[in-house]
Structure 1
Amino acid sequence: MATTRNTTWQHVEHGFGPLYNSESQILFLGTMASPKSREAGFFYMHPQNRFWPLLQALYANPDDPTDTTGTTKETRKAFALRHHIAIWDPIESCDIQGASDSSIRNIVPSDLTGMVKHSNISIICPTGAKSNQIFHKYQAPIFEREHIHVDIVPLPSTSPAYASKTPQQIIDMCKERLGANGMTTNPAYTEHL
């Protein structure tokens, strides 16, 4: 392993598969599972990541106090599938320094086509600039070649490293972008943010 600025490069494999089923309608893409997520075997498990509070704000039924993401793999998986949400990352393996998206290199991309073909996914939302860049470099040409048509709606990163926006600003940006593409969301549910 080479080191740069006292940070070690590490080759990482994603370690767990996508979350979706045949009823999934919208796919949220990260980049590569963080160390905390790989350890837990599930998406966005770093306690400071704002992904699950964002999903709750966008999709939870405000009239149902039990419709929450919770904090466990099981409750979050159930929430996503109940709301027809799929989650995956465009990277199957790569070299990375810690959890820094900007350090990612030597990418082996994930296959997203099977998910889309075996579900109702019509919108793909890369979360963050790096996710969007990777999707367009690796997966978009395959989608075009295979005549797979979906709307691409880039969303802001939910990483704690993306601190220039408040949680409410991220929610508002996502609502605006998803609403403009016909993907309705529930009224904001922000008490846990």
Structure 2
Amino acid sequence: MLRGFPPVVAADTHTLILGSFPGEASLAATQYYAHPRNQFWRLLGAVLEELSLHELPYEQRLTRVLSHGIGIWDVLDACHREGSLDSAIRNAQPNDFASLREHAPLLKKVCFNGKTAGRFAEVIGAAGYETLVLPSSSPANAMLRFEQKLSCWREILA
């Protein structure tokens, strides 16, 4: 059974971006979105007008993102999976979303990085959060160019 990472949130987090589950590169590095071709940090940097975000050391990236009231987590806490594709996820165990109100009492909006994570939008929305499903930042999502993804990702701050 593979285990995910704890949430990156603060008391003033108002928006949370949820992925599905860390890929192999992320698990090996113990960092969210560690695969060099994953566009997460570039997309988020452009949205936050922090264009060098992806070049910063990991801990500084987290600090910068949190300073904007944005948090990062995944919908799944644990699963079985060969490789990094969401389609290979088996025996998935969701994270404890009820605990979010304790860790991030100002949370209003939950964004989902891709359709797999987006399957939880209805459940999270029913808990009273605004939801937004974004195109995946994964290199496996090659249907959209960076600029096309970015136009959707800008809705994070809307």
Alignment match, 2:78: 93
Alignment match, 2:37: 48
Normalising by structure 1, report the TM-score.
Answer: 0.74
Alignment match, 1:189: none
Q: In structure 2, how many angstroms separate the alpha carbons of the residues matched to 1:161 and 1:168?
A: 16
Q: In structure 1, how many angstroms separate the alpha carbons of the residues matched to 2:49 and 2:26?
A: 23
State the Cα deviation string for residues 74-109 of structure 1 (Å, max 9, x = none).
121111111111000011111112001011111111
Normalising by structure 2, report the TM-score.
Answer: 0.90
Q: Which of residues 149, 153, 157 is equivalent to 2:128?
A: 149
Q: In structure 1, how many angstroms separate the alpha carbons of the residues matched to 2:32 and 2:75?
A: 13
Alignment match, 1:187: none
Higher helix share: 2
Q: C-alpha root-mean-square deviation of aligned residues, in Å?
A: 1.9
Runs of 5+ consecutive residues of structure 1 not aligned to the other structure: 1-10, 185-193
Alignment match, 1:105: 90
Written as runs of structure 1 = structure 2, the 5 A alignment for 1:165-180 is: 165-175=144-154, 177-178=155-156
Alignment match, 2:137: 158
Cα contact 1:69–1:75 (8 A) shared by 2: no
Residue 129 of structure 1 aligns to which amino acid in structure 2?
K
Report whether the alignment pairs 1:12 with 2:2: yes
How far did residue 13 of structure 1 move? 1.4
Q: In structure 2, how many angstroms separate the alpha carbons of the residues matched to 1:95 and 1:118?
A: 27
Residue 30 of structure 1 aligns to which amino acid in structure 2?
G
Report whether the alignment pairs 1:38 with 2:23: no
Residue 62 of structure 2 aligns to which amino acid in structure 1?
K
SS of residue matched to 1:153: strand
Alignment match, 1:124: 110
